[in-house]
Each structure stands twice: as C-alpha cells, then as structure tokens.
Amino acid sequence: MSAPPDPLPPDLLQDAAATFGLLSATVRLHLLWLLAHDERDVGTLAEETGQSVATVSHHLGKLKLAGLVRARRHGKHQIHYIDDPHVVDIVRLAVQHHRELRPGSPRARHTRGA
C-alpha cells in the first residue's frame, strides 16, 4: 500500500483550479496550443483560430494576467509566446489524450475491445 499523498494547501488547490479554469475556454486552449508550437502576433492568432483580433486580444490579456503568456515588441507588432513550460505540457497532454480517445485511433480501438 502506498503512503498517503502530502496534504495540499487550499491556496495551492485554488491556484491550480484557476489555471484549469483558464484552459477551459476553447479559444484560450486553442491559443495556447498554437503558441506551444511557435510565437505569433495577434493577427496571425486571429486568422488561425477564426476569431476576431478583439476576441483574441481579450483572451491573450487574461492569459497574460495569469502569467501564462508574455509578449515582446517586434517592430510594430507584439509577438506573443508562452512563458510557462508546464502549461505547454498540460495543453499537449490534454490534446493528445483526447486525440487518442477519438474513434479510429489505435488507443480507442484497444480500449473498446478490452
């Protein structure tokens, strides 16, 4: 039998829950997915997500306030990038998990037949 896990302070749980809350918005998850692969400006992110520049800017603002995304100036553009490698891991794991559960994936076929 394994030892019980260390107790988690309530403020740590609240911070972790807040991160998942930010990731629960499809647009923000999509932005982080794109930024996990390369830095981009707002216009490019808007085009790639099918959202307006205003919508993307709004969501990037929330991600910046949470410390997940940062921006640097490059000429006339703000270039956005992920500032927390742990968030990249979380996003990639979540997407990969659901990708593998989709019908037709090798994992989905394996678990259905079990």
pLDDT of residue 44 exceeding 50, the answer is yes
Q: Where are the domains of the chain?
A: 14-113
More confidently predicted of 111 and 74:
74
Q: For the chain, what is the mean pLDDT?
A: 91
pLDDT at 107: 65
Topology, domain 14-113: Arc Repressor Mutant, subunit A (1.10.10)
67-93 pLDDT tens trace: 999 999 999 999 999 988 999 999 999
DSSP the chain: -PPPPPPPPHHHHHHHHHHHHHHTSHHHHHHHHHHHH--EEHHHHHHHHT--HHHHHHHHHHHHHTTSEEEEEETTEEEEEES-HHHHHHHHHHHHHHHHHSTTSHHHHHHHH-
pTM for the whole thing? 0.82
